[in-house]
Amino acid sequence: MFTNDKNTKIKILAVDDNPKNIQVIGSFLRDAGYSVGFAYDGQQALNILNETPDFDLILLDINMPVMNGLDTCKAIRASETLKEIPVIFLTALNDTNDILTGFDVGGQDYVCKPFNSKEILSRINTHVELKRSKDQLKKVNQWLEDKVEERTHELRKSNLELEKAYQELQVLDKSKSDFLTLITHQINTPLNGILGFIGILKDELKDSHLNEMCSYLEISAKRLESFAKVGLKITELRTKKLTVEKREVHLDNLIEMSKISLAEKIKEKNISIQIEGDMLESTCDGDEGLLKFCVESILENAIKFSPKEGTIFVTINSEEDRRHFSFIDQGNGFNTKALDSLFKLFVPGSDYSDENIGLDLALVKLIMDAHKGVVTVTNHEKNGAVVTLTFPIQN
């Protein structure tokens, strides 16, 4: 027995104006297990279909009174409810034009009179299976569309929640940035006064012990001033408030400016700075002020951890699309813990992280990120640390 599911037989509507044909068709269709409906012209067929649109296939004679099969098929294809029902035309063997026209108006197949029951049943079975597969595919597609719509709704909801959370974070981040900026300015204002008075006191005090105490006070105040400046720059870079104005920067100028700023510390330890590579011809695109901070911070750190009368090597190596700017000191290098956390903000308990160097290297990384560059830190194979700034070369 042919069924659509466990409880429903497949329904065939046979449309023919010849009662004998209807009788023959009905007989072998019922014997094959189909449920059969009948109509004697196209209009009657449409009336039946409009009242009971759940037929699985239509056998449709072409030449009929009232409404012929071709017009009936056109009407079926024009109906949103009926248009998916397969139509097999019943036609005389020599009606070639009718067969071609039947395909044009939406017929799926044809069977020639006189009927061969095996042929009709084979054609019916083929098209019923096709319709069944098509209906199943539509159900699957609908299920997928429902699932997509469900997931889309969930994603929209999640996106709205993420957007809300992002907006809240933006507000919090702005509040944090504004607070840090305010604190930095509030620190700098009294610091400027303190440093100014310390300078006056050093000039006026005759007692060497008191003068030494003033020197320690000045060092502490300058460390606090440096911390405030670095903290402000980090805040500005992380919140995109600091504009990076790029132009051609000569690397030898960065070295010379840094040497001038650090002249006292270089002299105190009698440090020699040796340059290797074509420094005079080496340039990069960037913000000179920010890059000077990078070079000065790295050089100051190298001086601090170098032995007295030590040498700091500054090297330049260029590739096709990159330029490496390295600083090599003769200190003890970084321990493993320090290497793992050099670019993280506020990581306590590591060598090279005291006296603001932790903040300085974090800021160096932020500055290099803003320049599409890279900072790497390693230990030298012999002794000392190697800090390398890698800049992209613009072609």
The fold of 247-392 is Heat Shock Protein 90 (3.30.565)
Dist. CA 372–CA 390, nearest whole Å: 9
Alpha helices for 52-116 (secondary structure H): 69-78, 96-104
Q: What are the boundaries of each domain within the chain?
A: 11-115, 157-238, 247-392
> What confidence score (pLDDT) does residue 177 get?
65
Amino acid 105: pLDDT: 92
**Which pLDDT does position 344 carry in this prediction?**
64
| pLDDT given for residue 161 in this prediction | 86
Can you list the residues of the chain whose pLDDT is less than 70?
1-8, 93-95, 173, 175-189, 197, 205-207, 216, 219, 222-223, 226-243, 279-280, 338, 340-359, 394-395
Long-range contacts (CB closer than 8 Å, 24 or more residues apart) made by 72-80 = 72/15, 72/42, 72/43, 72/45, 72/46, 73/102, 73/105, 73/106, 73/107, 74/105, 74/106, 75/42, 75/46, 76/46, 76/49, 76/106, 77/105, 77/106, 79/49, 79/50
Give the integer Cα–Cα distance in Å for 120 and 297: 92
Instruction: Give tens-digit pLDDT for 345-361.
Output: 544 444 443 444 456 78
Q: Please state which architecture CATH assigns to domain 157-238.
A: Orthogonal Bundle (1.10)
Give pTM, 2 decimals.
0.48
114 — alpha (psi -120 to 50), left (phi > 0) or beta? beta
pLDDT at residue number 163:
86
Query: Structurally, what CATH architecture does the domain formed by 11-115 represent?
Result: 3-Layer(aba) Sandwich (3.40)
